[in-house]
A and B are shown apart, each in its own frame.
Chain A
């Protein structure tokens, strides 16, 4: 029984990978210029912030929780960063400050969830209200960023062999690698899976369930703040309406990547594939070009549906 489970534990991720390749193949066949490597790299360039946020979300979902505040924390980060830079704060100070704010919000929600047994959905919904509210307290308008450091990082293109990526992509990939390492090879990573698998037995085993749970929300808050920094590189502005609905994109990416919402099973690499799926859907729509805004929404829904059902069909056989 155990060997069977072991053999098939990569099945959901593999299914996503195969379907992603299939989707890419369909794109290459149907649209000229789709096979250009830069198209794939652009998916990373355009979604680096979502990747970082989704990695943080992966930790939370692995413990069986959910974090609805990420989009709002991303917006708050762009807002605080833009506000501080506008006041003339040096980037070396502004950057740690925004990361700290994100981590603190995550910590607060984690404490509420652990110590007071508030349901994660509700605690993070309150966090979402709080972060969006703070955005509008700072300003109801968009704040442009003209700080030289920010602009130079934003515009820096790293060229190799005729293709380029941005610094944001490198940061996002670094976050992915660190997260994958932490989840696979550290005690904390094993705790995360154990808590998600069965909090009761994890506690009886003597694992520090509370600390793990608070830590994952702090990590998610920190990742959201970092994602917000990357978004502010991308947009070069702070705005309270940035990243609206991003929490759902992040959750969708994690789930498409084969992580169970009930916790205990899934991989960071799956989340990367999930973000690529969402990014590729956008790319296909761009290449299609003649879709009106409502057909775009319907098309995204249909692709999401096809993808989820196919993934479900592939992985169902294992039971």
Chain B
């Protein structure tokens, strides 16, 4: 049991299970998943589907944090991506044309890659501290999103675009498939190539890795580009969910939730050590937390308090210092 508790993922998973069971007590049908018209429905599926954008943003954020950086601009990138895609689609003669929608999506993701390149350039080449370098795009990015939409909320009516958030493939929701595919792809690249190890080495000590012959600049830039593209995909999902683009409010404060998800998953903000699986659990945990608030019927104004309490409790049980303090009271359990 003590060995199990020392596992990095034990506490986040335990907390997730606790929240799910709490939901089950308040709503007995919570775990039921049914097949309706060949589509999967249920609260658990909802958590997965609504959690997909956050999971993607957190996935990209994990790579950036692994290099010892941080990306505050992801919320703005979410807004920009949705804004450009919707603006392009709104300008189509036939909004139902799959080709046109694909071009719009590609353009949006290309722009996001450019924005990531910009962040990576500032951090890796110019050498500005990540939190400040990405703050620039965080501030200016919302302006850019509004510029694209001309300050309006752009509504689109495009069935192919709607598919990104509301579609089903083999009875599984499309956003879940997209998120799972990207997570799998990143995990594969990281664990099947040297990329993950190089990222960790750059995060551990960028200067030393460069002296050891690792192109740390290029790795840092790749991490920021990947992060922005992931945020871009999340932005497409967010705007597709509501079939509109809102430059002001899309992805608002998602950067904080994403960072929280990454840290809950056991990745250190100091860089050099990261866990993709942890991030996935972290993102699911945060989304379940949001769902729990509705299920248990917590009044909206107390939501943030509830979140604060859960975060504090989770951080404390994960903290080795806290556990050491607890076990000091039980000398029998202390082992060298």
Q: Is B260's CB within 8 Å of the partner chain A?
A: yes
Among the stretches A89-97, A167-175, A228-236, A289-297, the one at the interface with B is A289-297
Contacts A119-B263, A132-B304, A133-B308 given; does A293 touch B129 at CB 8 Å = no
User: Would you call A112 and B142 a contact (CB within 8 A)?
Assistant: no
Chain A binding surface, main DSSP class? helix
Q: Is B336's CB within 8 Å of the partner chain A?
A: no
User: Would you call B132 and A294 a contact (CB within 8 A)?
Assistant: no
Q: Is A183's CB within 8 Å of the partner chain B?
A: no
In the complex, chain B residues 122-176 whose Cβ is within 8 Å of any chain A Cβ: 126-129, 131-133, 135-147, 151
User: Would you call B320 and A117 a contact (CB within 8 A)?
Assistant: yes
* Neighbour of B312 across the interface among A121, A126, A300, CB < 8 A: A126
User: Would you call B143 and A304 a contact (CB within 8 A)?
Assistant: no
| Contact partners of B132 in chain A: CB under 8 A | 251-252, 255, 261, 308
Q: Is B315's CB within 8 Å of the partner chain A?
A: yes
Residue of chain A at shortest CB distance from B262: A122
- Complex CA–CA separation, A126 to B319 (angstroms): 15
- Total chain B interface residues with beta-carbon distance under 8 A: 48
- Complex CA–CA separation, A293 to B143 (angstroms): 8
User: Would you call A293 and B151 a contact (CB within 8 A)?
Assistant: yes
In the complex, chain A residues 101-159 whose Cβ is within 8 Å of any chain B Cβ: 112, 115-119, 121-123, 125-127, 129-130, 132-134, 136-137, 140
Residue of chain A at shortest CB distance from B315: A118
- Complex CA–CA separation, A214 to B302 (angstroms): 28
User: Would you call B319 and A117 a contact (CB within 8 A)?
Assistant: yes
* Neighbour of A129 across the interface among B126, B247, B307, CB < 8 A: B307
| Contact partners of A126 in chain B: CB under 8 A | 308, 311-312, 315
Q: Is B333's CB within 8 Å of the partner chain A?
A: no
| Contact partners of A255 in chain B: CB under 8 A | 129, 131-132
User: Would you call B315 and A301 a contact (CB within 8 A)?
Assistant: no
User: Would you call A122 and B305 a contact (CB within 8 A)?
Assistant: no
Residue of chain A at shortest CB distance from B256: A125
Q: Is A39's CB within 8 Å of the partner chain B?
A: no
Contacts A297-B146, A300-B140 given; does A140 touch B315 at CB 8 Å = no
Least distance between B203 CB and chain A CB atoms (Å): 14
Q: Encode B83-121 as 1/0 by CB contact (under 8 A) with A.
A: 000000000000000000000000000000000000000
- Complex CA–CA separation, A122 to B270 (angstroms): 12
Q: Is B301's CB within 8 Å of the partner chain A?
A: yes
In the complex, chain B residues 288-325 whose Cβ is within 8 Å of any chain A Cβ: 300-308, 311-312, 315-316, 319-322, 325
Q: Encode B253-272 as 1/0 by CB contact (under 8 A) with A.
A: 00010011001000011100
- Complex CA–CA separation, A140 to B300 (angstroms): 10
* Neighbour of B151 across the interface among A122, A137, A294, CB < 8 A: A294
Q: Encode A283-319 as 1/0 by CB contact (under 8 A) with B.
A: 0000000001111111111101100110010001000
Residue of chain B at shortest CB distance from A297: B143
Residue of chain B at shortest CB distance from A254: B132
Q: Is A21's CB within 8 Å of the partner chain B?
A: no
* Neighbour of B321 across the interface among A115, A119, A122, CB < 8 A: A115
User: Would you call B316 and A118 a contact (CB within 8 A)?
Assistant: yes
| Contact partners of B269 in chain A: CB under 8 A | 119, 121-122
| CB<8 Å pairs between A and B, sample of 28 | A118-B315, A118-B319, A119-B269, A119-B270, A121-B263, A122-B263, A122-B269, A122-B315, A133-B301, A133-B302, A133-B305, A133-B306, A133-B308, A136-B302, A136-B304, A137-B305, A248-B138, A252-B135, A255-B131, A255-B132, A294-B143, A294-B151, A297-B139, A297-B140, A297-B146, A301-B136, A304-B139, A308-B136
Report the 6 A-B pairs with minimum CB-CB distance, sorted nearest first: A301-B140, A297-B143, A133-B304, A133-B305, A294-B146, A136-B301
Interface residues of A (CB under 8 A from B): 66, 68, 112, 115-119, 121-123, 125-127, 129-130, 132-134, 136-137, 140, 248, 251-252, 255, 260-261, 292-302, 304-305, 308-309, 312, 316
Given A252-B132, A297-B146, 16 extra CB contacts under 8 A: A112-B312, A112-B316, A116-B319, A117-B319, A118-B316, A118-B319, A126-B315, A129-B304, A129-B305, A130-B304, A133-B304, A133-B305, A133-B307, A294-B143, A294-B145, A297-B139
Interface residues of B (CB under 8 A from A): 72, 126-129, 131-133, 135-147, 151, 247, 256, 259-260, 263, 268-270, 300-308, 311-312, 315-316, 319-322, 325
